[in-house]
């Protein structure tokens, strides 16, 4: 468990949120599944909701603002920066593109949304009063973030150039993956889709939430109206499952390895 109430180091995943068509439905799903309690903001923030675990902030949820059609719901991972303008410039220089221009969010901080050269969307957050999530690696909070791509080497080179990560290649036969670290601490991962994924699989960031029992949580997903995309299985890092929520948004759950 890591608890932090100051800005996260640049390049570290610091926040995640999702825009959904019905916040009440999202709360009814994620609240029981992950033990979240919610604090809903006022009209000045578009009734944006923040989720908490034991009083510590973990993610945000909101509904579309304005009349423009909203994209399909998906979790957006925000990487920390201490200089948003410089990071946005670095994104462009490395072959990415800013798709939501940098903007201040009241006194909370400043944000931008970008897409990497392989098509994965991510956010960038420069903290002010809102430093991001307060806790990670505890049930109900984020435990890992990774980006999957059909062109993993290009994705690795992009994020390394923009954020200065150290890269450790963890690939094995049939498995392409790299760990991105900052000052010796793993920050995120970059994986490559195998041929079995097909062209329909889109480059995207995936957020992993920690749970105490992966199998029970997967069953709960189905009971709450979600879908188990990939059944629970043991990995070197714990027992994981890929699931989707009530709006089709994909995320992962990670718990302790099975006793066997």
Structure tokens, 29: 């799903």
Helix pair 214-223, 23-34: axis angle to 10 deg: 150
pLDDT at site 100: 96
Q: What element of type H or E holds 81? A: strand 76-81
Rounded to an integer, the average pLDDT of 219-246 is 96
> pLDDT averaged over the chain?
95
CA distance 173 to 182: 26
Residue among 147, 152, 150 nearest 169 (CA)? 152
Look up residue 131 and give its two tokens: 């430093």
pLDDT of residue 215: 98
pLDDT tens digits, one per residue of 179-204? 999 999 999 999 999 877 777 789 99
More confident residue, 167 or 236: 167
Q: Is a pLDDT exceeding 80 seen at residue 241?
A: yes
Structural domain boundaries of the chain? 2-127
Give the pLDDT confidence score for residue 197 in this predicted structure.
73
The pLDDT, as a whole number, for residue 211 is 98
Q: Is the pLDDT of residue 172 over 90?
A: no
Main-chain dihedrals φ then ψ at residue 88, nearest 5 degrees: -60, -40
Of the candidate CATH numbers 1.10.540.10, 3.40.50.2030, 3.10.180.10, 3.40.50.620, the domain formed by 2-127 belongs to: 3.10.180.10
For the cut 60, the answer to whether the pLDDT of residue 1 exceeds it is: no
- Read off the pLDDT of residues 2-57 as tens digits, 9 standing for 90 and up: 777 789 999 999 999 999 999 999 999 999 999 999 999 999 898 999 999 999 99
| Percent of residues, the chain, with pLDDT higher than 90 | 87
Least confident of 68-77, 135-144, 183-192, 204-213: 68-77
Residue 239, exposed/middle/buried by CB under 10 A (0-12, 13-18, 19+)?
buried
């Amino acid at each position: 468990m890591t608890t932090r109430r100051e800005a996260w180091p640049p390049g570290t995943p610091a926040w995640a949120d999702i825009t959904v068509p019905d916040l009440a439905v999202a709360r009814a799903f994620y609240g029981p599944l992950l033990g979240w309690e919610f604090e809903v903001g006022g009209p000045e923030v578009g009734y944006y909701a923040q989720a908490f675990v034991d009083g510590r902030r973990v993610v945000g949820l909101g509904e579309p603002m304005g009349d423009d059609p909203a994209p399909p719901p998906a979790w957006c991972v925000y990487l920390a920066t201490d200089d948003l303008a410089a990071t946005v410039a670095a994104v462009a220089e490395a072959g990415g593109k800013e798709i939501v221009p940098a903007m201040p969010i009241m006194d909370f901080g400043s944000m931008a949304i970008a897409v990497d050269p392989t098509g994965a969307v991510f956010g960038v957050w420069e903290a002010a009063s809102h430093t991001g999530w307060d806790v990670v690696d505890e049930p109900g909070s984020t435990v890992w973030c990774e980006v999957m791509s059909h062109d993993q080497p290009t994705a690795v080179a992009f994020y390394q150039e923009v954020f200065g990560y150290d890269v450790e290649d963890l690939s094995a036969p049939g498995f392409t993956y790299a760990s991105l670290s900052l000052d010796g601490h793993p920050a995120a991962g970059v994986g490559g889709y195998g041929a079995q994924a097909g062209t329909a699989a889109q480059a995207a960031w995936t957020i992993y939430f920690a749970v105490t029992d992966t199998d029970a949580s997967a069953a709960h997903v189905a009971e709450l109206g979600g879908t188990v995309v990939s059944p629970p299985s043991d990995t070197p890092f714990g027992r994981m499952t890929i699931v989707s929520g009530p709006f089709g948004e994909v995320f992962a759950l990670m718990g302790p390895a099975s006793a066997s």
